[in-house]
A = this chain, B = another copy of it.
Amino acid sequence: MTLKELGEFGFIRRIATGAGSGSGVALGIGDDAAAIIPTPGMQTLVTADMLVEGIHFDLTFTAPFELGRKSLAVNLSDMAAMGGEPRFALLSLAIPPDLPLEFLDHFMAGFTGCGKEQGVTLIGGDTCSSLSGFVISVTLMGEQSSSRIVRRSGARPGDLIHVTGTVGDSALGLELLRRGERGGGAITRHLNPLPRNQAGVELAKRGLVSAMIDVSDGLLADLGHLLEQSGQGGKLFLRQLPLSAEYLRRSPVLSDDRFTFALSGGEDYELLFTSPPERREEIRDLSASLQLPITAIGEIHEEPALVVIAPDGSTYTPGSRGFDHFA
């Protein structure tokens, strides 16, 4: 069977069958709009991300199942950064005529599988043809009470800057893919990122964070967004950066500056957050209970600038600050 034989409406029925149903859905795929039942007392959080062939992904080394997972995961990461519980997704696809139906089936299996793991129901979207490349647009809705929602703007002088997991592996993985490698931990981090939703919700519920953002544009760029919106400056200590063993081994060979992937690579989908120093013990406890490293990498100060301190104590000047789609 081809997509052409199945037709637009056959394809939508096929997606609807795989989407399943979830609590809070009054009306799912198949009408002019979906209808959901908001939980009383909760605010609705909503975020959108677009993934464009040739810009965000390269089909020569990206399998459709992983691409489906990642399309939802990058949105889940934004939801995690707000401390929100993810609930519902809409998926719009512009599909080149030569894309096999099997590719789309695998893509959808990845998308809905990731959704099921995280309690997200696919409730709508759009499908159309594309003259030029596969385009994926996802909207993710979630919920949280207003007192628990975490913004980028709440960092205060003296707060410590923390990051979950390790940084730089995704950018390292992309570089390895471009050089023809096809396996290993860093490549998996790039192709199949695991968003930190449990950590995001727990940090928010326990009131441990003053400001939070996910690392998608690059650690320096995203820290810059957080500082700018908080009206603060900060100090970042490179010797404290959580780097994987693979990163420590391979990045000095692949890059002139061994910190570049970690500082400017992006797509880590880790959580970068600030927290008052007196909450440090509670963050350690959470890190242990989630079995997720959480590392203090710097501190907030009032002077409105980001100062990066090299391992030898000197001031470090980064080459690039992160990804800008139009620069």
Contact = CB atoms under 8 A, between A and B. Distances in A.
Interface of A: 3-4, 6-9, 11, 26-27, 30-38, 40, 42-50, 52-56, 78-79, 81-82, 84, 88, 90, 92-95, 97, 123-133, 135, 137, 139-142, 144, 146, 149, 151-153, 212-214, 225, 229, 324-327
A149 B4 contact: no
A84 B27 CA distance: 13
A130 B131 CA distance: 13
9 contacts: A35-B46, A36-B43, A38-B43, A47-B124, A54-B131, A55-B94, A90-B139, A95-B326, A129-B326
B325 A127 contact: yes
Nearest to A80: B32
Contacts of A153: 31
Nearest to A142: B33
Copies of this chain, count: 2
Contacts of A213: 32
Contacts of A47: 32-34, 124
Contacts of A97: 326
Nearest to A56: B128
Nearest to A41: B40
A63 B36 CA distance: 35
Nearest to A37: B43
B4 A327 contact: yes
B128 A78 contact: no
A200 to B, nearest CB: 10
B48 A44 contact: no
